[in-house]
Structure formats: structure tokens, C-alpha cells
């Protein structure tokens, strides 16, 4: 018998009791239907963490009142970790200026939409591999590329979820443009800073154009734990910043948000959205790509969800309609 959204809601409702997904033994209440639809594998901590991540992701496009009602009901916001569902309903009522009966309807409405979204995604996507084959996965990558300055900068804010063994360090890898005179081989171009979330260790060179670092985390993270870190890349000049910015994840990535600021005086002749192509095809103009529109201040905003590992997502541009720089800079990771 096929699983219905109503049946899924019935299974999800008990999980918001007591401390919500923060309850000590909530994993025991997660039914086989929920595990199947949400693709939950592994030990209790991992199952609860992945379910929480997916509830947040599915709630993101909901109207504000429904999104807040669901997230607070399940204790998925920092200020909603209260001991009882009644406490959280009172909190929602205060935030939305509604009575408790209306709040419960908002929670149920939001939960039904989430169940429908989860079922649609489950029917559309192949069954994911067990989580323990990867050390971690990215829940969100938010990147900003600033190109209207003499020294281009890239900001990356990563949020990851540990899905394997306890994690104390992460390997960072990225590609840089390399000219025929090896001018791109400088280990400090681009210069990498950690704004928060870890400490850089040994610089590695995997190839002429591929650099790597180790990021030591502030503490060892247990399976199911989440962590955020923020990086900044600063280029020597515009000539050494390539005309691509791509995410080519090694491990699953749930969401990638990208802003590219060209500025009104530096708009490219052409710009494209790169959505799941092989890295070797990024500079092939016959490969699938969509024209990218800029707003009046010369900015582009792109979003991607459920990125497949080893494919490239992001933006490409050129100042000359007939040419494009084939050497991308982009994050490679979860």
C-alpha cells in the first residue's frame, strides 16, 4: 500500500511531544514509514540529526507563520528548546499573536505540506546510499563572490553534518587559474583566511591547479553533530580570478546559495547558470546551461538543492562573447 501524506503526518505528530526532536529517546518513536520516506539510516543520533535537517529544509519554502510553527513545535530553533509542547505552543502564540487553537492548526497545516514535499522528493529521487559511507555532508553552503573591487574576494559559509566516524578535521580543496608561465602557482594566491570555525594547517598542492588545506575543528564532533565554518579567499588582482565559480561536491550537499556581485560598471558580456554538469564540460558552451540575468546593481543570486556529488553547480561568465576562461575556482567538498 502506498504511503500517504496523511499517514506520514500521523507518524510525525508524536515526535513533537515533550522536548520534540531534542527528547532523549525520540528515535525510538520514528516509524519505518518515516525512515523510508526521509531516507534515515544509521544509529539513533544520526537518524534524529538527518530528520531534523530535512524538516528544516522542507520547511524553508513555507509561509513564515507555518514555517515558524513547525520548527518551534519540534524544538528546531535555538530559542524553542523548551521542556513541553505546551510551552512551545505558547511561544508560537506569542510570536504570531494567535491563540493556541489557531497555532495548532498552523502546525498541522505546515506539517501536512512538509509531508507532501517529503513524499514528492522520495518518489522523485533514487534511494540514497547509507550515510556511513561518507564522513560528513553539507547541509548548506552560502557563497558570495565580490568582483567589483581591485582585489576580488570570495566568502564561503559552510554548515556540515557529521555522518560517519567522529570528526576532528576536514580536508579543503579548490582549483585556481594557472597560466602558461606558472604565475598561478603562488601558494598565497588566492590567500585563504578562516573567519571562524577552525584553524588552517599544512598547505598541500595536489596538482598545478589544485590546492588543499587541512581545517582543524575547534573540537571533535560526534556523529549527528553539526558545525559551521566561514572562509574568505582574496585574490591578488582581477586577472588571477577565473571567470567561473562552482561547487563540485565530493559528498552530498543539500543546499547551495550563491551571490555574484559584478557591480554596475563591471557587468559581463555573457553569464550562465551552471546546473549539474561534468567539471570537464564547464568551459564547453555546447553543454547544458541557462543565461543568467543580473539585477540593476550588477548582481546575480542562484540557489541549488540536492547537489549530486562530482557534478558542478554555480555560475560562469565572460567579458568577451567569443571566449571564456576554462579554469574555475570553486569549492570542492560536502
pLDDT (tens digit, 9 = 90+) per residue, 193-235?
899 999 988 665 544 445 677 889 999 998 888 999 999 988 8
Distance of CA 58 to the CA centre of its chain: 13
Q: How many CB atoms lie within 10 A of CB 199?
A: 11
pLDDT score of 323 more than 90: no
**Cβ–Cβ under 8 Å, residues 240 and 183:** yes
Rounded Cα distance between 87 and 101, Å, is 14
Q: How many CB atoms lie within 10 A of CB 276?
A: 12
**Cβ–Cβ under 8 Å, residues 240 and 181:** no
Nearest Cα to Cα of residue 74 among 7, 9, 15, 26:
15
Q: Could you tell me where in the chain the CATH 2.60.40 domains are found?
A: 134-332
The pLDDT tens digits for 239-252 are 777 788 888 888 88
- On whether the 134-332 domain is CATH 2.60.40, my answer is yes
What is the crossing angle of helices 100-124 and 85-96, to 10°? 100
- pLDDT, residue 202, reads 62
pTM value surpassing 0.85: no
Amino acid at each position: 500500500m502506498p504511503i500517504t501524506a496523511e499517514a506520514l503526518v500521523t507518524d510525525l505528530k508524536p515526535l513533537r511531544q515533550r522536548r520534540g526532536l531534542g527528547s532523549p529517546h525520540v528515535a525510538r518513536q520514528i516509524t519505518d514509514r518515516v525512515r523510508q520516506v526521509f531516507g534515515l539510516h544509521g544509529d539513533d543520533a544520526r537518524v534524529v540529526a538527518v530528520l531534523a535537517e530535512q524538516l528544516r529544509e522542507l520547511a524553508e519554502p513555507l509561509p513564515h507563520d507555518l514555517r515558524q510553527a513547525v520548527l518551534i513545535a519540534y524544538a528546531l530553533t535555538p530559542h524553542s528548546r523548551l521542556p513541553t509542547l505546551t510551552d512551545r505552543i505558547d511561544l508560537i502564540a506569542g510570536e504570531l499573536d494567535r491563540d493556541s487553537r489557531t497555532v495548532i492548526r498552523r502546525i498541522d497545516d505546515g506539517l501536512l505540506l512538509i509531508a507532501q514535499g517529503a513524499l514528492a522528493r522520495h518518489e522523485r529521487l533514487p534511494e540514497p546510499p547509507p550515510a556511513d559511507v561518507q564522513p560528513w555532508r553539507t547541509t548548506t553552503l552560502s557563497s558570495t563572490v565580490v568582483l567589483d573591487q581591485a582585489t576580488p574576494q570570495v566568502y564561503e559559509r559552510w554548515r556540515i553534518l557529521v555522518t560517519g566516524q567522529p570528526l576532528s578535521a576536514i580536508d579543503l580543496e579548490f582549483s585556481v587559474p594557472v597560466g602558461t608561465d606558472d604565475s598561478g602557482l603562488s601558494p598565497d594566491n588566492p590567500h585563504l583566511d578562516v573567519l571562524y570555525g577552525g584553524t588552517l594547517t599544512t598547505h598541500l598542492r595536489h596538482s598545478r591547479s589544485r590546492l588543499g588545506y587541512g581545517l582543524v575543528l575547534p573540537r571533535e564532533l560526534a556523529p549527528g553533530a553539526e558545525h559551521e565554518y566561514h572562509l574568505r579567499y582574496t585574490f591578488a588582482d582581477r586577472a588571477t580570478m577565473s571567470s567561473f565559480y562552482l561547487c563540485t561536491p565530493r559528498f552530498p550537499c543539500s543546499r547551495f546559495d550563491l551571490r555574484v556581485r559584478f557591480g554596475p560598471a563591471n557587468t559581463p558580456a555573457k553569464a550562465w547558470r551552471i546546473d549539474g554538469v561534468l567539471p570537464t564540460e564547464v568551459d564547453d558552451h555546447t553543454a547544458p546551461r541557462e543565461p543568467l540575468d543580473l539585477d540593476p546593481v550588477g548582481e546575480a543570486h542562484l540557489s541549488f538543492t540536492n547537489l549530486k556529488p562530482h557534478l558542478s553547480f554555480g555560475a560562469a561568465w565572460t567579458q568577451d562573447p567569443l571566449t571564456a576562461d576554462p579554469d574555475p575556482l570553486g569549492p570542492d567538498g560536502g
